[in-house]
Structure 1
Amino acid sequence: MAGGYDDRDGFIWMDGEMVPWREANVHILTHAMHYASSVFEGERAYNGKIFKSREHSERLKRSAEMIDFVIPYSVDELEAAKAEVLKASGLQDAYVRAIAWRGAGEDMGVASAKNPVRVAIAAWEWGAYYGDAKMKGAKLDISKWKRPSPETIPSHAKAAGLYMICTMSKHAAEANGCSDAMMYDYRGYVAEATGANIFFVKDGEVHTPLPDCFLNGITRQTVVGMLKDRGITVHERHIMPEELDGFEQCWLTGTAAEVTPVGQIGDYTFEVGELTRDIAESYEKLVRE
Structure 2
Amino acid sequence: MAGGYDDRDGKIWLDGKLVEWREANVHILTHALHYASSVFEGERCYNGRIFKGMAHSERLRRSAELLDFEIPYTVDEIGAAKYAVLEANGWKDAYVRAIAWRGAGPDMGVASQRNPVRLAIAAWEWGSYYGDAKMKGAKLDIAKWKRPSPETAPSQAKAAGLYMICTMSKHAAEAKGCSDALMFDYRGYVAEATGANMFFVKDGEVHTPLADCFLNGITRQTVIGMLREKGLTVHERHIMPEELEGFEQCWLTGTAAEVTPVGQIGDYNFEVGALTRDIAESYEKLVRA
TM-score normalised by structure 1 residue count: 1.00
Match of 1:51 in 2: 51
Which segments of structure 1 move beyond 3 Å, counting only runs of 4 or more?
Answer: none
The aligned residue for residue 11 of structure 1 is 11
Name the counterpart of 2:83. Answer: 83
Aligned equivalent of 2:215: 215
Q: How many residues align?
A: 289
| Structure 2 unaligned blocks of 5 or more | none
1:216-244, CA deviations, whole angstroms, 9 ceiling, x for partnerless residues?
00000000000000000000000000000
What is the alpha-carbon distance in structure 2 between the residues aligned to residue 280 and residue 2 of structure 1? 29
> Residue in 2 aligned with 1:73?
73
Please give the secondary structure, in 2, of the residue aligned with 1:198.
strand
Q: CA offsets per residue over residues 104-140 of structure 1, 9 Å max, x none?
A: 0000000000000000000101100000001100000
Question: What TM-score does the superposition give when structure 2 sets the normalisation length?
Answer: 1.00
Matched with 1:233 is 233
- Residue in structure 2 matched with residue 248 of structure 1 by the alignment: 248
Aligned equivalents of 1:92, 1:19: Cα separation in 2: 20
SS in 2 for 1:188: coil
Identity over aligned pairs, percent: 84
Which whole-Å CA distance do the structure 2 matches of 1:76 and 1:241 have between them? 42
Find the counterpart in structure 1 of residue 157 from structure 2: 157
Cα deviation 1:145-195 (Å, max 9, x = unaligned)? 000000000000000000000000000000011000000000000000000
CA distance in 2 between partners of 1:170 and 1:126 (Å): 19
Q: In 2, distance between residues paired with 1:42 and 1:83?
A: 14
Give the Cα separation in 2 of the matches to 1:135 and 1:24: 37
CA RMSD of aligned residues (A): 0.3
Once residues 236 and 218 of structure 1 are traced to their aligned partners in structure 2, the CA distance between those partners, rounded to angstroms, is: 15
Aligned to 2:280: 280
In the other structure, the counterpart of 1:119 is: 119
Q: Distance in 1 between matches of 2:270 and 2:92?
A: 34
Partner SS, residue 62 of structure 1: helix
Deviations 1:42-84 (A, max 9, x none): 0000001100000000000000000000000000100110110
* CA deviation after TM superposition for structure 1 residue 92, in Å: 1.1
Counterparts of 2:237 and 2:112, CA distance in 1: 38
Tell me the SS of whatever aligns to 1:81.
Answer: helix
Task: Compute the displacement of 1:247 (Å).
Answer: 0.1
Cα offset, 1:36, TM superposition: 0.0
Distance 1:203 1:227 in 2: 15
Q: Which runs of 5+ in 1 are unaligned?
A: none
Shift of 1:196: 0.1
CA–CA distance in structure 1, aligned partners of residues 267 and 222 of structure 2: 29
Amino acid at match of 2:35: Y
Q: Whole-Å Cα distance in 2 between the matches of residues 32 and 194 of structure 1?
A: 21
Instruction: Quote how far apart the aligned CAs of 1:85 are.
Output: 0.5
